[in-house]
Amino acid sequence: MAPTNELRKTFGHDPQKFSWFKNEYKKELDNNDKTQAFVNQIAEWLKKIT
């Protein structure tokens, strides 16, 4: 799951903003109702290839 365009553009790959970006991205993931389903799907795919 990618960060929102707004968050990505504000971060701008500036190393000095990485800590801020990491925290904001985690908030986005925590507040996204699709995050858990995404994680579950990845876990299922990994079970099939290991």
Whole-number pLDDT of residue 3: 98
Q: What integer pLDDT is reported at residue 50 of this predicted model?
A: 73
Tell me how far apart the terminal alpha carbons of the chain are, to the nearest angstrom.
22
- In tens, the pLDDT along 1-50 reads 999 999 999 999 999 999 999 999 999 999 999 999 999 999 999 999 97
Backbone angles phi, psi at 12, to 5 degrees: 60, 25
